[in-house]
Amino acid sequence: MRDARRKTGLDYADIYDDLLRAHAPIAQFSRKGTTMELQPRESRIALNVMHHFAQKGVPCLCVYDSFLVPAEYEGELRATINRCYSDEFGFLPEIDDEQAGIGTRIAA
C-alpha cells in the first residue's frame, strides 16, 4: 500500500474508492463484514473436501482456492466440491471450468 501511495500520490481512501469503482458489482459487500463471514465458510468447504479424500486415502492438496487430486478422481472432486458447497450455502456453485482450470492436467 505504501508503494502504491508513493507511486500514485493517492492516499488509502482514494485507492480504496478506485478499487470499489473498479469492482462495482461487489462493492455493496465492502465494509459490511461479508468477508469475515465468507472466509470461515469457504474454509469449512475446503476442509470437508479434503476430509472426504483423506477418508478414502486419496491425496488431495488444497492450493489457495483450488484442489489437486490424481486425474482419475477429477469427477469425484467436482461432485464433492458441489456437495460441500451446497451443504454450506444451500445452492450449487456456478463454476466456469475453463477459467477455474478444471480438467487441467499437470505432468508428473
Whether residue 50 sits in one domain with residue 20 = no
| Tens-digit pLDDT profile for residues 8-44 | 787 877 877 888 888 887 777 776 667 778 889 999 9
- Could you report the per-residue pLDDT of 36-85, keeping only the tens digit for each? 788 899 999 999 999 999 999 999 999 887 899 999 999 999 999 999 99
The number of domains in the chain is 2
Considering the domain architecture, whether residues 76 and 86 belong to the same structural domain is answered as yes
Residues 6+ apart with CB under 8 A from 74: 102, 103
- Domain range holding 76? 33-108
In whole angstroms, what is the distance from residue 79 CA to residue 88 CA? 14
Q: In 3-state terms, what secondary structure has residue 74?
A: helix
Same structural domain, 56 and 85:
yes
pTM for this structure? 0.66
